[in-house]
Amino acid sequence: MLTKRIIPCLDVRAGKVTKGVKFKGNVDIGDPVEFARLYYEEGCDELVFYDITASNERRDIMIEVVRAVAEAVFIPFSVGGGLRTLEDMRRVLLAGAEKVSVDSGAVRNPAIISEGARAFGSQCIVLSMQAQRVAPSARIPSGWEIFIDGARTPTGLDAVEWARRGEGLGAGELCVNSIDQDGARSGYDLPLTRTISEAVAIPVIASGGGGSAQHIYDVCTQGKADAAIVASIIHRRDTTIPELKRDLAARGLPVRMNW
Amino acid sequence: MPESAPQVAVIDYGMGNLFSVRNACRRVGLDATVTSDPAVAAASGALILPGVGAFGDGMQALRDLGMTRVILDAAESGKPILGICLGAQLLMTESEEFGRFKGLGLLRGPVRRFQGPQEEGRPLKIPHVCWSPIRHPDAMQAAPWRGTLLDSVAEGEYMYFVHSYVLMPEDRAMVLSFSRYGQVEFCSSLRAGSIYACQFHPERSGPPGLTVYANLRRLLLERGRNER
């Protein structure tokens, strides 16, 4: 089994890390560069930043954050949120991000995936998706529908079909977020993650619901995920990256332990 | 410059983002300049050739900038050269990526596409994008990395890789480390004198990766002292 990655996710609003539950009620909890440095020193494998700044004019703050993070941490990190054009992607990559992540922008304009892959390489294009359980129907046969705009707007897209389409367009990785599990810390959505993982050949990052090492172990084994996003459990210091990794290694999951 | 900050040129030939390399250099006390000017590169104490992308495009870009001569001269004079990822591959003799292209030829051997890496019977995805351990070559000596850019990196340490093609040095004695992707064992770094090639990205590999840059700094300081 290839090494499973543990990826802290930081939601950033106007230059501050925030944490919300089920996409509502975000509160600022600190400086993204400080968080990044701490998790880097603790040995996380990668970092994810989502810019959830509402207004466009304040997006330059995020570029400054990316630049400062790139000077502080020496591991891959991806940046998403509000990226709509190749130029948006280029700015983030030039500021020092290794990957860009597209979500609502890709639903509205799927060509951004293929254009990004062609311009910067598939390995740096992550397709992030918000999936919610719905009654299976002719339109949504898998029973998971894609939502956009902070999980507020249904799209009528089937999550499995969208995942396959994203892969076909050249996404190098999928980040699958379960709206049902988001912020609940009761475990990742195993059937969702497994269904998507089995439908594509590119790596799948599980997101939403991670509350313990057991949850990460489950989603990387039963859920067939290649990586797991962690957020509130480490932001609140309920546990730490080294603690999680020691626990996972003791369970026999291959993780990078060495420092 | 004080002795503590030796100068290195990070060659910018339009292939990928070089700021992570520059940031890593600065972190360990190297005075790094990102440049596409052959004169600036020629005047620096060491060359770093990074890069992401296709081999043929990379060679063409180096030629268009007039940078190949600078790199070959640097090799001749014993100036340290560190190639990273595509930059490592360009130091080799040739590649078959999208055709057949001649490389800089400083390290003898071709660059070839990964041959069918698999795991539990399933083909593995190419490119290889992963943290993978680097291992000693089947070395006779006890500490094969001592005195090299991998000095004090622990065997089995993880480094970060993003690549579809692998370095195939003719002379196994050049191999500094091996890594695996599925069942495929490949050369993940090599060395010939003061020329180093890393398939992995030390600037994205955390503290063990920064050690590579710190070793480059030490190497340059030693060279500086010897020349005085």
Q: What is the band of B127 on the pLDDT scale with cuts at 50, 70, 90? A: confident
Task: Check residue B1 and give its pLDDT.
Answer: 45
Q: Does residue B85 lie in a domain region? A: yes
Domain assignment present for B91? yes
Does the model's pTM come out above 0.90?
yes
Quick count: other Cβ atoms within 10 Å of Cβ A153? 12
Question: Is residue B106 in a domain?
Answer: yes
Q: Which pair of structure tokens corresponds to residue A227?
A: 């990586």
Is there a domain that residue B211 lies in?
A: yes
Write out chain A residues lying below 8 Å of B165, CB-based: none
Backbone angles phi, psi at B13, to 5 degrees: -120, 30
Closest residue by Cα to residue A207 from A235, A174, A239: A174
- Contact call for residues B51 and B82 (beta carbons, < 8 A): no
Give the phi and the psi of residue B3 in degrees, each rounded to 5: -60, -25
Catalytic residue among B25, B163, B198, B203: B203
pLDDT at B99: 84
Task: Kindly state the percentage of chain B with pLDDT values over 90.
Answer: 78
CB of B128 closer than 8 Å to CB of B122: no
Cis, peptide link before residue B127, omega less than 30° from 0: yes
Give the CA radius of gyration of chain A: 17
Interface residue A14 vs chain B (CB under 8 A): no
Q: What are phi and psi of A124, to 5 degrees?
A: -110, 10
Pairwise CB contact (< 8 Å): A74 & B27 = yes
Q: In Å, what is the CA distance from A119 to each residue of A109, B52, B120, B121, B196?
A: 16, 12, 33, 33, 29
Is the pLDDT at A56 greater than 70? The verdict is: no
Distance CA(A242)–CA(A87), nearest Å, equals 37
A203 inside 8 A of chain B by CB: yes
Q: What is the mean pLDDT of chain A?
A: 93
**Residue B158 DSSP SS3:** strand
Flag the least confident range among A238-252, B112-126, B165-179, B195-209: B112-126
For A5-250, CATH number?
3.20.20.70
Give the pLDDT of residue A32: 96
Q: How far apart are CA A147 and CA A145, in angstroms?
A: 6
Predicted confidence (pLDDT) per residue in A135-184, tens digit: 999 999 999 999 998 889 999 999 999 999 999 999 999 999 999 999 88
Q: What is the mean pLDDT of chain B?
A: 93
pLDDT of A22 over the 80 cut: no
Distance CA A124, CA A79 (A): 10
Residues in A touching B129 (Cβ below 8 Å): 123, 172-173, 203
Q: Backbone phi, then psi, for A135, in 5-degree steps?
A: -65, 130
Nearest residue on chain A to B22, alpha-carbon basis: A71
Question: Could you tell me if A182 and A11 are in contact, meaning their C-beta atoms sit under 8 angstroms apart?
Answer: no
Confidence class for position A21, pLDDT limits 50, 70, 90: low
Q: How far is CA B29 from CA A236, B196, B209, B215, B218, in A?
A: 34, 19, 14, 11, 10
Strands A125-133 and A144-148 come out as antiparallel
How many Cα atoms sit within 13 Å of A253 on the Cβ side? 25
Q: What is the mean pLDDT of residues A100-115?
A: 96
Cβ neighbours of A133 (radius 10 Å) = 18
- Residue B98: predicted pLDDT: 81
**Residue B17 and residue A93: Cβ atoms within 8 Å?**
yes
Position B1 in a domain? no
Asked if A5 has any chain B CB less than 8 Å from its own CB, the reply is yes
Q: Which residues of A touch B17 (CB under 8 A)?
A: 93-94, 96
Between A40 and B16, name the one with better pLDDT: A40
Which of B52, B154, B203 lies at the smallest CB-CB distance from A258? B154
- Whether B58 is covered by a domain: the verdict is yes
Residue % of chain B over a pLDDT of 70: 97
Confidence of residue B126 (pLDDT cuts 50, 70, 90): confident
Tell me if B90 is assigned to some domain.
yes
Classify each residue of A63-90 as buried b or exposed e, where b means 16 or more C-beta atoms within 10 Å of its C-beta.
bebbbbbbbbbbbbbbbbbbbeebebbb
The residues spanned by each domain of chain A are: 5-250
Residue B122 pLDDT > 90, yes or no?
no
B201 is catalytic: yes
Q: What's the confidence (pLDDT) of residue A97?
A: 94
The CATH number that applies at residue B41 is 3.40.50.880
B144-199 pLDDT, tens digit each: 999 999 999 999 999 999 999 999 999 999 999 999 999 999 999 999 999 999 99
Domain enclosing residue B104, as ranges: 7-227
- For range B94-98, the mean pLDDT: 88
How many percent of chain A have pLDDT more than 90?
Answer: 81
Q: For residue B20, which residues of chain A lie inside 8 Å, CB to CB?
A: 70, 74, 96, 98
Query: Cβ distance A213 to B139 under 8 Å?
Result: no
Report if residue B2 sits inside a domain. no
Total number of domains constituting chain B: 1
Q: What are phi and psi of A25, to 5 degrees?
A: 55, 60
Three-class secondary structure of residue A80 per DSSP: strand
Res B68 pLDDT > 90:
yes
